[in-house]
Amino acid sequence: MFLSVFDMFKVGIGPSSSHTMGPMVAAARFLDLMRASPFEFAGLRGSLHGSLAFTGVGHATDRATILGLAGFVPDTYDNDKAEAALAAIAETHSVTPEGLPTLQFDPKADLIFDYDHNLPGHANGMILMATDAQGDVILRQVYYSVGGGFVLTEEELAEGKATNDGPAVPFPFHSAAEMLEMANASGKSIAQMKRENEIARGCADSFAKGTARLWEVMNNCIERGLKTDGILPGGLKVRRRAKGIHDALLAERGMNLNAPHTINDWMSVYAMAINEENAAGGQVVTAPTNGAAGTMPAVLRYYLDHVPGASESHIEDFLLTAAAIGGLVKYNASISGAEAGCQAEVGSASAMAAAGLCAVMGGTPEQVENAAEIALEHHLGMTCDPVAGLVQVPCIERNGLAAIKAVSAASLALRGDGKHFVPLDSVIETMRQTGHDMHEKYKETSLGGLAVNVPNC
């Protein structure tokens, strides 16, 4: 099994990797399908199903799909150009993607939120269609946004599309047990094994530049969030809090009366800064998803700013270790809130962050696996119940608490020798089973939990 760091961590836009980035990617793929087709097209249609329908408005799924059909993609997204394109589409009822003719597309009539028909492959399903001059559908494709910005067609999902296409990698671990066996046999750390796998699939120079850019985008997102206040979009009138908390923490620096637990506020504020930016539709990095984007960068920032002896030279090892754990969770369970609840998103993020921190603080592979296990185990059963379908309540604070759990998990693991009762593989399988058993109303549909017990206005 191979899942690249650049698959697990993708630069994109908020508020949701599965509901915003995924549909935009799906639309871009559909345009490529059209370009490769011999048919002459005149129009576009689409329908959103399952969780994409129920929480699509709050997650800007319609907006993302419209922009994707106009030719926008997450990693080069420009908000000013997007706003201009949306205005033009609303006026002309058409899009003109590069390499295709002008296509008739009225978002209000041609993009349907279908609340009555779930698609069989995944909770996040969508159908995109192209029509001829008579309005007949001549090309149709079903896409599933399976979490973290990953998109599969119905055929790819049915085939169980492998993540191992390409040259063989030297350490093809499919489980945490295999990962530890390979680490012990080779004498290498998890980060070293993961790095060798990455280099086997690409160039060492581009890999180093790519990981540097990932942290740059993550850290820039923290900085923007720490400096921006105001009200988040969406109608709940949620107030940004990261700037105020950060300003207060800076003012308290150097005071002798600070309580030791104030360090928790630093961890939380870094995470909240990112998730407030995500909620506002800003540029973030999936880690492993947008809804959980704040946890792992917050722990890395905590390490760099607050841990004695921390070094920026360890950033790559942190990301590599975290990506290795995230890959195991995705391969053996899920990172999708619509599929397995928030345990799959924030729980996975906390496990990844705990593993990364443990690694850069000198943990052995066994201690790293233990750190990930502790963090994920104590998120089991967590539901995804966003109020009003927005990635704001409880999502923003939840990332902060997950960062605190990650640091505690890493610390506990480092206090031990790596031997522990419950293996990480067992926790990942338990998470998968729990997600399967969880009622649909608790899986990113906003039909249960806080979403129905908190007034939306």
| Chain segment 394-419, per-residue pLDDT in tens | 999 999 999 999 999 999 999 999 99
Helix axis angle, 424-437 to 315-332, nearest 10°: 50
* Per-residue model confidence (pLDDT) at position 238: 97
Statement to judge: residues 246 and 150 lie in one domain: no
44, 315 contact by CB (below 8 A) = no
Instruction: Label residue 205 by pLDDT band (50, 70, 90).
Output: confident
State the distance between the two ends of the chain, measured CA to CA, in whole angstroms.
46
**Cα dihedral value 415, 417, 423, 424, nearest 10:** 60
Nearest alpha carbon to residue 297 among 76, 9, 14 = 9
Statement to judge: residues 408 and 360 lie in one domain: yes
Res. 356: pLDDT tops 90: yes
d(CA 11, CA 122): 24
Q: What are phi and psi of 350, to 5 degrees?
A: -65, -40
Statement to judge: residues 122 and 220 lie in one domain: no
Within a domain: 406: yes
Within a domain: 164: no
Q: Count of CB atoms within 10 A of residue 233's CB?
A: 15
Question: Structure tokens of 20?
Answer: 């915003």
Instruction: Label residue 199 by pLDDT band (50, 70, 90).
Output: very high
Question: Structure tokens of 385?
Answer: 């119940």
Q: What is the pTM of this model?
A: 0.93
142 DSSP assignment: E
52, 126 contact by CB (below 8 A) = yes
Within a domain: 166: no
* Per-residue model confidence (pLDDT) at position 1: 74
Within a domain: 225: yes
Within a domain: 185: yes
State how many domains the chain has.
2
Statement to judge: residues 307 and 409 lie in one domain: yes
Within a domain: 296: yes
Within a domain: 167: no
**What's the pLDDT tens digit per position in 132-146?**
999 999 999 999 999
Statement to judge: residues 142 and 226 lie in one domain: no
Statement to judge: residues 180 and 155 lie in one domain: no
Instruction: Label residue 447 by pLDDT band (50, 70, 90).
Output: very high
Statement to judge: residues 108 and 214 lie in one domain: no
* Per-residue model confidence (pLDDT) at position 256: 76
d(CA 327, CA 140): 31
The CATH number for 46's domain is 3.30.1330.90
Amino acid at 368: V
Element (H, E) at 209: helix 204-227
Question: Structure tokens of 380?
Answer: 């089991």
What are residue 143's DSSP bridge partners?
A: 126, 153
160, 290 contact by CB (below 8 A) = no
* 390 Cβ contact partners less than 8 Å away, ≥ 6 residues apart: 15, 58, 59, 232, 234, 235, 236, 238, 279
- Bridge pairing between strands 124-131 and 43-50: antiparallel
* Per-residue model confidence (pLDDT) at position 123: 93
Q: What are phi and psi of 125, to 5 degrees?
A: -115, 150
* Per-residue model confidence (pLDDT) at position 165: 67
d(CA 70, CA 135): 19
DSSP-assigned states of every residue in 227-238: H--SB-SSSS-P
Of 88-92, 253-257, 381-385, 387-391, give the lowest mean pLDDT range: 253-257
Q: How high does pLDDT run on average in the chain?
A: 95
Statement to judge: residues 233 and 109 lie in one domain: no
Instruction: Label residue 332 by pLDDT band (50, 70, 90).
Output: very high
Res. 352: pLDDT tops 70: yes
Of 92-96, 238-242, 252-256, give the lowest mean pLDDT range: 252-256
Q: Count of CB atoms within 10 A of residue 12's CB?
A: 26
Question: Structure tokens of 457?
Answer: 């206005």
Q: Which of 105, 132, 159 is the last residue of a domain?
A: 159
Region of 439 please: left (phi>0), alpha (psi -120 to 50) or beta. beta
| Average pLDDT estimate for 18-24 | 96
157, 120 contact by CB (below 8 A) = no
Within a domain: 34: yes
What are residue 44's DSSP bridge partners?
A: 130
Percent of the chain predicted with pLDDT > 70:
99
How buried is residue 234: exposed, middle or buried, by Cβ count under 10 Å (0-12/13-18/19+)?
buried
* Per-residue model confidence (pLDDT) at position 164: 56
Res. 163: pLDDT tops 60: no
* Per-residue model confidence (pLDDT) at position 312: 97
**What's the pLDDT tens digit per position in 271-327?**
999 999 999 999 999 999 999 999 999 999 999 999 999 999 999 999 999 999 999
Statement to judge: residues 327 and 260 lie in one domain: yes
Statement to judge: residues 149 and 294 lie in one domain: no
- Bridge pairing between strands 94-95 and 103-104: antiparallel
Region of 384 please: left (phi>0), alpha (psi -120 to 50) or beta. beta
d(CA 202, CA 174): 20
**What's the pLDDT tens digit per position in 372-387?**
999 999 999 999 999 9
* Per-residue model confidence (pLDDT) at position 455: 79
| Average pLDDT estimate for 49-55 | 95
* Per-residue model confidence (pLDDT) at position 257: 77
d(CA 38, CA 18): 31
Statement to judge: residues 132 and 189 lie in one domain: no
Statement to judge: residues 229 and 154 lie in one domain: no
Domain containing 144 equals 17-159
